[in-house]
Amino acid sequence: MLAEPSEGVLGAEGAALHDLLASGRPAGSASSNAVDGLAPPPALATFGEKPEARGVGMRWSNAPLSVQLRSPLRPLQTLTRLSQTAAPPLPDPHPAAAQPAPPPLPPASAERVALFDLDLTLLDVNTGRLWVEKEFRDGKVPFMIYALAVYWFAKYAAGLGIDAGEVAREAMALYGGQMEAAMVTEVEAFWAAACEARVRPGARAALAAHRAAGERCVLCTASWQHVAACAVRSLALDGAICSVIHVGPDGRFTGGVSDAYGEGKLQRTAEWAAREGVDLRNCTFYTDSFSDATLLAAVGTPVAVNPDAKLAALAAKRGWRAEDWGAAPVGEAKQRYSACSALFFLR
């Protein structure tokens, strides 16, 4: 038994500790493992066995604390283990290599750029229609495809819109597997014979004005890349945004196409502007077609050139500038397809 030291020797706190050691429970407790009906605190653990976690607590010993203190082990551990704070995780000895950040896009500048549609804007003809007519005459396009193309062009001319993806898939189905080099040669001859002389007088004047102002002049067309390349060379343009026919590593057409019609043109133009660091709000866009309404709304200076009926109405409603660039001085300008010409497949 422990000797009974006086309170004067231990003091009030020492006497209370002595009572705790002697009884194994706090004064006034009903038992050694309950206080006022509550479960004992989870701070003490039994010596000689590993504590088992119960929530955040430890196993409570029924043995008197004075018995536990007789253990030759380190008794103060029972009084000082107050929590089970987890040790901080060790650093990864093999950290993953940091991935380099992608190069930032060039910031948008105050540079002004003039964007020009091709068919029925810079030119007074639709190159797609002329191409289909040539291919039909050469026996490369069956009659049903030709008739369907005429219908598509009639809808386009009326500003009614077409499914550009469907048109592109139908057209490219005819050329899948053919060599691109042969197409380039054929398109260059076609451009020289049917398109080069069809530039509107107003188009040349607009190009000259923008160049005099130090602005880039960029083609922005739904025509595919081979026709666009001919237009860029012929008109000395500074680049092109256009539809792209996919070519495989063997130099043959795969049958795939990324079109730049309607919403596709807006997407391709936005991508080009991001690469070039150009703000579309500093751009002027010239077009004849209602299908380009979304891009017209995105640029700072939209201009309707010899517009179709729906674009003319939209331009008047929104206060957009409208211009008549006239017809090419060579021969008679090709007229837009009407419903009757679409029905009877007439030129």
The verdict on 72 and 218 lying in the same domain is no
Residue 265 located in a structural domain: yes
What confidence tens digit (pLDDT) does each residue in 162-176 have?
555 566 667 677 778
Please enumerate in sequence order all residues whose Cβ is within 8 A of that of 171, keeping only pairs 6 or more positions apart, or say none: 149, 257
The verdict on 238 and 305 lying in the same domain is yes
254 versus 49: the higher-pLDDT residue is 254
pLDDT of residue 93: 58
The verdict on 117 and 70 lying in the same domain is no
Residue 276 located in a structural domain: yes
Rg (CA), the chain: 42
pLDDT of residue 318: 97
Residue 178: name the closest of 223, 134, 140 by CA: 140
Q: Is the Cβ–Cβ distance between 291 and 159 less than 8 Å?
A: yes
**Pairwise CA distance, residues 159 & 307, whole Å:** 9
Other residues' Cβ atoms within 10 Å of the Cβ of residue 33: 14
Residue 324 annotated in active site: no
Q: For residue 150, what is the enclosing H or E element? A: helix 143-157
The verdict on 120 and 61 lying in the same domain is no
Residue 133: name the closest of 46, 62, 194 by CA: 194
Amino acid at 114: A
- The residue out of 53, 79, 105 marking a domain boundary is 79
Residue 62: name the closest of 83, 79, 52, 47 by CA: 47
Residue 102 located in a structural domain: no
The verdict on 24 and 155 lying in the same domain is no
Which of 19, 92, 119, 279 is flagged as catalytic?
A: 119
Q: For residue 210, what is the enclosing H or E element? A: helix 201-212
Q: What dihedral angle (degrees, nearest 10) is formed by the CA atoms of 181, 183, 189, 191?
A: -120
**Pairwise CA distance, residues 230 & 183, whole Å:** 12
Q: For residue 255, what is the enclosing H or E element? A: strand 253-258
The verdict on 140 and 40 lying in the same domain is no
Q: Is the Cβ–Cβ distance between 248 and 278 less than 8 Å?
A: no
Mean pLDDT on 39-45: 43
The verdict on 132 and 224 lying in the same domain is yes
Q: Does residue 270 surpass a pLDDT of 70?
A: yes
- The residue out of 22, 55, 79 marking a domain boundary is 79
Which of 36, 92, 117, 324 is flagged as catalytic?
A: 117
The answer to which of 174-183, 240-249, 286-295 has the lowest mean pLDDT is 174-183
The verdict on 154 and 64 lying in the same domain is no
The verdict on 195 and 281 lying in the same domain is yes
Token pair for 81:
């283990």
Residue 43: name the closest of 14, 97, 83 by CA: 83
Residue 145 located in a structural domain: yes
Amino acid at 163: D
Tell how strand 253-258 and strand 240-247 pair up. antiparallel
Domain count, the chain: 2
The answer to which of 122-136, 149-163, 176-190, 314-328 has the lowest mean pLDDT is 149-163
Token pair for 240:
């092109």
The verdict on 122 and 228 lying in the same domain is yes
Residue 95 located in a structural domain: no
Residue 337 located in a structural domain: yes
CATH number for the domain including 239? 3.40.50.1000
Q: What sign does the CA torsion over 35, 39, 41, 44 have?
A: positive
Mean pLDDT on 262-291: 95
The verdict on 37 and 117 lying in the same domain is no
Residue 128: name the closest of 117, 139, 112 by CA: 117
Residue 124 annotated in active site: no
Express as a percent the part of the chain with pLDDT over 90: 44
- The residue out of 59, 79, 99 marking a domain boundary is 79
Among all chains, which residue has been given the structure tokens 């003039």?
Answer: 114
Amino acid at 16: A
Q: What three-state secondary structure class fits 280? A: helix
The verdict on 131 and 243 lying in the same domain is yes
Say if residue 230 is exposed, middle or buried (CB neighbours under 10 Å; 0-12, 13-18, 19+). Answer: buried
Other residues' Cβ atoms within 10 Å of the Cβ of residue 111: 14
**Could you list the residue range(s) of the whole structural domain that residue 56 is in?**
6-79
pTM of the complete model beyond 0.85:
no
